[in-house]
Amino acid sequence: MISGLFLTDTEEFYTLEDFSKVRKIDTHTHHNSESTALAEAGIESNFFLLTVNVDAPSYPELPEQLRLALHQKAKNPEHLDFLSTISLEDWSSPDWAEKEIARIRDSFEKGALGIKIWKNIGMTYKDENGKFIMADHPRLEPIFRFLIGQDKTLMAHLGEPRNCWLPLEEMTVNNDRTYFKEHPEYHMYLHPEYPSYEQQVEARDNLLAKFPQIRFVGAHLGSVEWNVDELAKRLDRFPNMAVDMAARIGHLQFQSQKDREKVRDFIIKYQDRLIYGTDLGISGNPDAERVKANAKATWLEDWKYFVSEDWMEVAEVNGGFQGQKLPKEVVDKIYFHNAVKWFRPNL
């Protein structure tokens, strides 16, 4: 039996076979390559893609990321858009904000739909007093005011999953265990001198409280992936906040194991605020067919969770769970309409 909030006997549903027929947007991908294999996979699966620039140490330098984004956009102009980012590299310079705004403006003139700020704000960069630069730092405010004035979107990966502050054996999903085992520099359980999970989320909330008009997308379920009730509190408090699901659908599936209907009711209630994304990436000179196969497998697995009521197993979660079988209207919002509203891609 299908149950949940606001459903009636007239609700319509997609099937697994509808996957390629439905127009979709994946708002969280990374194309750090001249290869267009990931974009081609998107075209084959009826996905429009956003490629996101990130100030991450394992990624190309920011000018190169911008070049690659423009290259991808030029190759597939009707199927891809991009977000630029900021760097805190010259933070101590008195004209840092002015220079960053000029660089961001240039990326907007080249077509960027907004910018992404990353977890190095709060977890890497420190100010002149040796304190971590958090999302609510006053020197970041000119950047946010500029975004509002330009009517652009702020995507933010701030903090990490709450699992980051737990030992590996206590983490809830396997992809977190793998990531933090491979990246101990970001495993905050090993770094108690760093800001806590609560401080990271509070700084983000302070940012939104100060700039309630900013169009904001919290990447990775807004780093409140562990509990849909806690995420609901933020969505209720900040009406211009949406969240993407990139690399965090496993957390919804983990919660589904314990209370499927609670998760389903959450998705239906907040159907206007949830955006589909994956965090799929491509870099260097990859095997194009492998990239395509991996992307399609990821997209199909997620589609199955949202549109069917089948029992499933995925690598990220230990044990099985049931798909959500969401109504078509909800699926269309998650996969398309909400992305259009928050990012305004050039469709």
Q: How far apart are CA 238 and CA 207, in angstroms?
A: 11
Task: Provide the pLDDT confidence category of residue 3 given band limits of 50, 70 and 90.
Answer: very low
- What pLDDT shows up at residue 10? 62
Is the pLDDT at 9 greater than 90, yes or no? no
Q: What is the pLDDT of residue 11?
A: 78
User: Residue 235 pLDDT > 90, yes or no?
Assistant: yes
239 occurs within a structural domain: yes
Q: Is residue 11 part of a domain?
A: no
On whether the CB atoms of residues 143 and 108 are closer than 8 A, the answer is no
Residue 6 lies in a domain: no
Q: Quick check: is 317 in a domain?
A: yes
Has residue 1 been placed in a domain? no
In a domain, residue 4? The reply is: no
The answer as to whether 2 is a domain residue is no
CATH number, domain with residue 169:
3.20.20.140
Tokens of 184: 């101990």
Cβ atoms of 61 and 81 closer than 8 Å: no
- Answer whether residue 8 shows pLDDT above 70: no
Which domain covers residue 74, as residue numbers? 16-343
Is 8 domain-assigned? Answer: no
Q: pLDDT (tens digit, 9 = 90+) per residue, 157-201?
A: 999 999 999 999 999 999 999 999 999 999 999 999 999 999 999
Domains held by the chain: number: 1
pLDDT surpassing 80 at residue 272: yes
Measured between alpha carbons, how far is 92 from 265 in angstroms, rounded to an integer? Answer: 47
Cα–Cα distance list, 100 to 97, 137, 140, 291 (Å): 5, 15, 10, 34
| pLDDT over threshold 60, residue 259 | yes
